[in-house]
Amino acid sequence: MYASAGFVTVQINFHGSAGYGQNFTDSIQGQWGGYPYEDLMAGVDHVLSSYKFVDPRRLVALGGSFGGYMANWLNAKTDRFAALVAHDGQFDMVSGYYATDELWFIEHDVGGVPFAAKDRPKFERFNPERLAAQFKTPTLFVHGASDFRLSLEQSLAPWALLRRRGIPARLVYFDNEDHWINHAGNSVRWYSEVLGWISQWTAVQPNTGVFRK
């Protein structure tokens, strides 16, 4: 879909993902904003050094679920992207813990519980909310009303943060979806919103080749 719209499309199999065995998947424990972030940055650097037709001024990043968390973490850690898309992503590691329907994942991956004094630093270490003052990238947030894994405030909060700070942001809310988009009509709307957003922030001025940002 993105390639057909003219975008160079890159998907990086970072630490924590499937494909390289269970140890590779489990390596994300205590490293949500560590190894995966480093892999993504290294992957982008490789693409930019290997394919000169890729414009470093016009990069965008998209993610859903953990990828949505990573979009928020990218917003806190780097300004190399012209725009971001965060679908049902975690913004606050602490409030997200108390609102989820699935405690096993977060306790397993972070290594504890936020109400234990000895564990609280683990939750704050890679907490995007802790670095809210560093958010600076225009972001599209997407959330489903029936997402019980990550409740609405995990998208509403960073949207409000960016809006309050005068940074462009958009929130798309599906009142009949859960953690993913399951209805055909909503899928069309989702792709329209996402493609529209990333096209808006990577456009060049007609007949000049000058990047709009």
pLDDT digits (tens, 9 = 90+) for 133-170: 999 999 999 999 999 999 999 999 999 999 999 999 99
Q: For residue 162, what pLDDT is reported?
A: 98
Residues of the chain where predicted confidence (pLDDT) is lower than 70: 205-213
Has 178 been annotated as catalytic? no
Pick the catalytic residue: 15, 87, 143, 179? 179
Has 147 been annotated as catalytic? yes
Pick the catalytic residue: 65, 95, 109, 119? 65
Pick the catalytic residue: 15, 87, 92, 147? 147
Report whether 16 contacts 63 (CB < 8 A).
no
DSSP output for 69-126: HHHHHHHHH----SEEEEES--S-HHHHHHH-S-HHHHIIIIIS-TTSTTTHHHHHHT
